[in-house]
């Protein structure tokens, strides 16, 4: 038996790739998992993404100091990294290789670590290298030691007294909320006229107010034109309409989006096509331009969520061991949550989108502070936010929902399930829910509709 030939080669240790590796390993298939760094076993989520950021947010919300929060979070991610490695490394048929992967040809991958290298071949290859932060071409940004990506900032031991966040999207808003609660003076700069441009105006305004209450300052409609180092810190110059301004801070978080991590993979040698945006191009069953090579997770573009990567693994597993009928077309109503305090979760259409698509719409909306049937929020002392449902007036089916409230990240899953299975707004309104809970707010909110 050739020790360098495998039934399955997985490039990257993300959620989709590691799930496939474990599933195929349990079937006795020979699997190689290639991860470029021992600090990334398990992928982005447990190491530099969802888990550490949400851990830090939790500690910020509960009043822990920044240093304590960083230490506890570091211990947590170390433990999870070890568990992820142990699960695969202890399987007899799975081999974990630590090094950088690059294609030699469509079935051969070179793995290099320092001066050492080896090649492996695979009948099936999975690309699961994720995405990485984008650094805008702003003069002075790349050379500054005060500039951080989200990956850098979560591991920083010292709390910046003044923090600038470049970007009003999900990553920027989460970090702004978190660091403001730790005690930093936070300024968010964004080119857009308001934050969270994909949300309805009222939802975005409510989220902005929550952040402002926490002490976050906003400079919107502003284009950052340069960064210079001074004795006072990093000096960010920006243009805002016809006027200009300057923000001086101790640290800068660049939250200007993420791009698929394909650099160095030599996809051209494998004959793997990419999209104009640099993502690995796939069909509905996640096959690339090479039928034996699949791409899962953020590297293929689309929604960058670990739970989407998990569903990617189900689609590919069905191609490898099942009936081969599952595809991305099966997916409907993918929810997401933004972890400011309280969290904002959304699924489906906004009111704006529903009306533009020609639906006859009715809207059920209420401020959390006005919802009598939600004592959970009052018990926890967090009554900020709102709940909003967009409903098809003809069928009473839920078209979308935005929940800015305590437990929103959990509540949205129930709403999503209702939407997927045709449960009407009336059914959800008349449900019998435990008390005191956040879910019972639906009894009241869904009874208050407008056209």
- Find the CATH number of the domain harbouring 10: 3.50.50.60
Q: Are residues 262 and 250 in the same domain?
A: no
**154 located within any domain:** yes
pTM here is 0.94
**138 located within any domain:** no
How high is the pLDDT of residue 2? 62
**137 located within any domain:** no
How high is the pLDDT of residue 450? 86
Q: Are residues 124 and 188 in the same domain?
A: no
Q: Are residues 204 and 276 in the same domain?
A: no
| Cβ(181)–Cβ(341) below 8 Å | yes
Active site residue 435: yes
**11 located within any domain:** yes
How high is the pLDDT of residue 441? 97
Phi first, then psi: give them for residue 325, nearest 5 degrees. Answer: -100, -20
**136 located within any domain:** no
**274 located within any domain:** yes
Q: Are residues 105 and 160 in the same domain?
A: no
The total number of structural domains in the chain stands at: 3
How high is the pLDDT of residue 353? 98
Q: Are residues 240 and 268 in the same domain?
A: no
Q: Which segments of the chain have a pLDDT < 50?
A: none
Q: Are residues 17 and 112 in the same domain?
A: yes
What is the domain range of residue 205? Answer: 147-254
Q: Are residues 317 and 369 in the same domain?
A: no
Q: Are residues 249 and 262 in the same domain?
A: no
How high is the pLDDT of residue 451? 80
Q: Name the 3-class secondary structure at 314.
A: helix
How high is the pLDDT of residue 3? 81
How high is the pLDDT of residue 448? 85
Q: Are residues 308 and 286 in the same domain?
A: yes
160-178 burial: b if 16+ Cβ within 10 Å, else e: bebbbbbbbbbbbbbbbbb
| Cβ(215)–Cβ(129) below 8 Å | no
Q: Are residues 12 and 126 in the same domain?
A: yes
Residue 289, C-beta contacts closer than 8 angstroms, at least 6 positions apart: 271, 272, 273, 281
């Amino acid at each position: 038996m050739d020790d360098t030939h495998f039934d399955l080669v997985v490039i990257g240790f993300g959620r989709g790739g590691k799930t496939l590796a474990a599933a195929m390993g349990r079937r006795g298939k020979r699997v190689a998992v290639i991860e470029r760094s021992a600090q990334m076993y398990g992928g982005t989520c447990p190491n530099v993404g969802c888990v550490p950021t949400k851990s830090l947010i939790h500690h910020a919300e509960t009043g822990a100091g920044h240093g304590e929060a960083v230490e506890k979070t570091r211990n947590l991610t170390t433990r999870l990294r070890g568990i992820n490695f142990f699960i695969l490394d202890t399987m007899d048929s799975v081999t974990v290789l630590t090094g950088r992967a690059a294609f030699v040809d469509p079935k051969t991958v070179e793995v290099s670590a320092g001066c050492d290298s080896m090649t492996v071949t695979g009948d099936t290859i999975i690309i699961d290298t994720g995405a990485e932060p984008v650094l805008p071409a702003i003069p002075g940004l790349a050379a500054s030691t005060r500039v951080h990506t989200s990956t850098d900032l979560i591991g920083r031991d010292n709390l910046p007294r003044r923090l600038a966040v470049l970007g009003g999207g999900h990553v920027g808003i989460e970090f702004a909320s978190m660091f403001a609660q730790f005690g930093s003076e936070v300024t968010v700069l964004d080119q857009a006229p308001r934050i969270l441009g994909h949300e309805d105006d009222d939802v975005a305004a409510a989220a902005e107010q929550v952040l402002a209450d926490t002490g976050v300052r906003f400079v919107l409609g502003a284009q950052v034109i340069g960064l210079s180092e001074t004795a006072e810190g990093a000096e960010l110059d920006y243009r805002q309409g016809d006027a200009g301004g300057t923000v001086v801070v101790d640290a800068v978080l660049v939250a200007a989006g993420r791009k698929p991590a394909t650099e160095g993979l030599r996809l051209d040698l494998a004959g793997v096509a990419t999209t104009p945006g640099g993502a690995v191009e796939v069909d509905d069953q996640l096959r690339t331009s090479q039928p034996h090579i699949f791409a899962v997770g953020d590297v293929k573009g689309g929604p960058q969520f670990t739970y989407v990567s998990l569903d990617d693994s189900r689609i590919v597993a069905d191609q490898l061991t099942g009936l081969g009928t599952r595809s991305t077309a099966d997916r409907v109503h993918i929810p997401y949550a933004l972890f400011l305090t309280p969290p904002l979760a959304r699924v489906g259409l906004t009111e704006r989108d529903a009306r533009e698509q020609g639906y006859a719409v009715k809207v059920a909306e209420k401020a959390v502070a006005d919802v009598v049937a939600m004592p959970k929020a009052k018990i926890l002392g967090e009554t900020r936010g709102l709940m909003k449902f967009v409903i098809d007036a003809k069928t009473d089916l839920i078209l979308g929902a935005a929940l800015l409230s305590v437990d929103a990240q959990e509540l949205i899953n129930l709403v999503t399930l209702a939407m997927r299975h045709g449960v009407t707004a009336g059914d959800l309104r008349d449900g019998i829910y435990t008390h005191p809970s956040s879910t019972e707010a639906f009894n009241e909110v869904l009874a208050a509709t407008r056209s």
